[in-house]
């Protein structure tokens, strides 16, 4: 799961990024609203943590622009303001949740989990598809009585497939979500990791498989 942090206070942005990393989330940071909007448009994020008070374009304007452009990535607004009118304005503009600063790490993580669950397929500690289940904490992929431990990138890629079964995931999208924006990773990296996962699915004897959609990308199918 990849999260975009839009926050101009460098210390807070860094702290958020570290908290997310420690809890198994990938993240990128934008330090102002304009960059935040640009990043969000790329479409690689599962969630956006959006500060309201930002230099230049403020958070509410970023949110309104996203929703106007039919970008429905879930947004949690972060703000020092706790005026009821701001909360209402944020929710009306299409935010999914609202977190007044200062907030505790536990509360932030709980809200992220709550939004992740709305997708329906995603559980707190594991994700499943057909006969497969992936455990977040141990990075173990199981099928029936067999279990294999995945490497970090394999785990992240498998999680991406399990969260989006039957959907063709373009290679560019996979690179963005797994390796991030600032990366030298290319299609070869994606192909290598897909082949690792295919070997593991085979070793597990799973009914699920990763299908190549020629010229487009990959999809997880039963
Ligand atoms: Ca701010």
Ligand 1 is an ion; its neighbours by CB within 5 Å are: 8, 51, 53
Count of C-beta atoms within a 10 Å radius of residue 222: 12
* Cα–ligand 1 centroid distance for 27 (angstroms): 18
7-21 average pLDDT score? 95
Between the alpha carbon of residue 204 and those of residues 35, 85, 118, 201, the distances in Å are 43, 54, 29, 5
Q: Which of 17-26, 110-119, 141-150 bottoms out in mean pLDDT, i.e. has the lowest?
A: 110-119
Give 32-53 pLDDT, tens digit per residue: 999 999 999 988 898 999 999 9
Cα separation of 208 and 91, whole Å? 39
* Cα–ligand 1 centroid distance for 58 (angstroms): 9
Task: Give the model's confidence band at 124: pLDDT under 50 very low, under 70 low, under 90 confident, else very high.
Answer: low
Between 18 and 81, the higher pLDDT residue:
18
* pLDDT at residue 120 greater than cutoff 70: no
**Residue 37, pLDDT score:** 96
* pLDDT at residue 27 greater than cutoff 80: yes
* Cα–ligand 1 centroid distance for 79 (angstroms): 7
Cα separation of 148 and 154, whole Å? 11
* Cα–ligand 1 centroid distance for 114 (angstroms): 24
**Residue 158, pLDDT score:** 95
Cα separation of 163 and 132, whole Å? 12
* Cα–ligand 1 centroid distance for 20 (angstroms): 19
* Cα–ligand 1 centroid distance for 30 (angstroms): 12
**Residue 17, pLDDT score:** 96
141-153 average pLDDT score? 93
* Cα–ligand 1 centroid distance for 31 (angstroms): 9
**Residue 121, pLDDT score:** 42
Task: Give the model's confidence band at 204: pLDDT under 50 very low, under 70 low, under 90 confident, else very high.
Answer: very high
* pLDDT at residue 206 greater than cutoff 50: yes
Between the alpha carbon of residue 119 and those of residues 40, 62, 112, the distances in Å are 19, 23, 12
**Residue 148, pLDDT score:** 94
DSSP the chain: -EEEEE-S-HHHHHHHHHHHHHTT-EEEEESSHHHHHHHHHT---SEEEEESS-SSS-HHHHHHHHHHTT----EEEEES---HHHHHHHHHTT-SEEEESS--HHHHHHHHHHHHHTTSSB-SSEEEETTEEEETTTTEEEETTEEEEPPHHHHHHHHHHHHSTT--EEHHHHHHHHH-SS----HHHHHHHHHHHHHHHHHHT-S-EEEEETTTEEEEE-
What average pLDDT is seen over the chain? 90
Q: Please state, for a pLDDT cut of 90, what percent of the chain lies above it.
A: 65
Give 90-116 pLDDT, tens digit per residue: 888 888 888 888 889 999 999 998 888
**Residue 123, pLDDT score:** 46
* Cα–ligand 1 centroid distance for 213 (angstroms): 43
Give 50-91 pLDDT, tens digit per residue: 999 999 899 999 999 999 998 889 999 998 766 777 778 888
* pLDDT at residue 10 greater than cutoff 80: yes
């Amino acid at each position: 799961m990849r999260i975009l942090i839009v926050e101009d206070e460098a210390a807070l942005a860094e702290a958020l990024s570290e908290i997310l990393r420690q809890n198994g989330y990938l993240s990128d940071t934008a330090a102002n609203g304009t960059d935040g909007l640009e990043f969000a448009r790329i479409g690689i994020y599962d969630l956006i943590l959006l500060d309201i008070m930002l230099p230049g374009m403020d958070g509410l304007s970023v949110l309104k622009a996203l929703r106007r452009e039919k970008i429905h990535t879930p947004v949690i607004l972060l703000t020092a303001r706790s005026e009821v009118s701001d909360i209402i304005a944020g929710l009306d503009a299409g935010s999914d949740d609202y977190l007044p600063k200062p907030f505790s790490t536990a509360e932030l993580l709980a809200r992220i989990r709550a939004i992740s669950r709305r997708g329906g397929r995603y559980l707190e500690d594991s994700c499943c598809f057909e006969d497969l289940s992936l455990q977040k904490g141990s990075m173990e992929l199981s099928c029936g009585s067999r279990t294999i431990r995945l490497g970090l990138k394999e785990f992240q890629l498998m999680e991406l497939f399990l969260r989006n079964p039957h959907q063709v995931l373009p290679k560019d999208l996979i690179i963005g979500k797994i390796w991030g924006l600032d990366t030298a990773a290319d299609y070869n990296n994606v192909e290598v990791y897909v082949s690792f996962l295919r070997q593991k699915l085979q070793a597990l004897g799973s009914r699920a498989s990763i299908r190549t959609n020629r010229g487009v990308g990959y999809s997880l199918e039963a």
